[in-house]
């Protein structure tokens, strides 16, 4: 079965979308984010480690430490998050074939190529900042 992103990526998206503007300026602890989102700290920490290795986040150790965005959340797309955590899932065959290229393609290859372009474009058009604002609007209305 094809999934756009993994469970780990889902946790990362949920955690980052729970941040506020103040968190972005002053940094944030994984414990605080996990408490807000009811996510397991141990698993979310693994996801954040990937985000640090992929230059999405910066981790500062010690007193006053925490996580910080390497770039403005406005400049980090939903697609950037998926690729930082899961790699380029869009290069894989949707039917799971080991070799799926034009010369040795699966039956749905050409259709998937068209769908993939639209999907990636849409994922690229949504920023982490928009995810944060959207989630915070929902929380304040409820």
- Which string of DSSP letters, residue by residue, matches 20-82? -HHHHHH-B-HHHHHHHHT--HHHHHHHHHHHHHTTSEEEE-STT-EEEESS-GGG-BHHHHH
| Average pLDDT of the residues of the chain | 86
- Write the pLDDT tens digit of every residue in 37-84: 999 999 999 999 999 999 999 998 877 789 999 999 999 999 999 999
Listed in sequence order, the residues at least 6 apart from 96 whose beta carbon sits closer than 8 Å to its beta carbon are none
Structural domains for the chain: 7-141 (1.10.10.10)
Query: Does the pLDDT value for residue 28 go beyond 80?
Result: yes
Q: How far is CA 96 from CA 4, 24, 83, 90, 93, in A?
A: 14, 39, 18, 12, 5
Evaluate whether 78 touches 39 at the Cβ level (below 8 Å).
no
- Report whether 9 contacts 85 (CB < 8 A): yes
pLDDT in tens, 6-26: 999 999 999 999 998 888 888
Report the distance separating Cα 58 and Cα 72, nearest Å. 12
């Amino acid at each position: 079965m094809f999934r756009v992103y993994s469970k780990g990526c889902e946790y990362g998206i949920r955690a980052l979308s729970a941040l506020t503007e103040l968190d972005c300026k002053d940094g944030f602890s994984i414990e605080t984010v996990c408490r807000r989102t009811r996510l397991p700290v141990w698993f979310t920490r693994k996801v954040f480690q990937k985000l640090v290795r992929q230059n999405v986040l910066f981790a500062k150790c010690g007193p006053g430490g925490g996580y910080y965005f390497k770039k403005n959340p406005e400049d980090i797309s939903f697609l950037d998050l998926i690729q930082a955590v899961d790699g380029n899932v869009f290069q894989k065959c949707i039917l799971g074939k080991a070799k799926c290229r034009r010369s040795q393609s699966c039956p749905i290859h050409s259709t998937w190529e068209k769908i993939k372009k639209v999907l990636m474009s849409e994922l690229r058009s949504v920023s982490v900042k928009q995810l944060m604002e959207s989630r915070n609007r929902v929380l304040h209305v409820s």
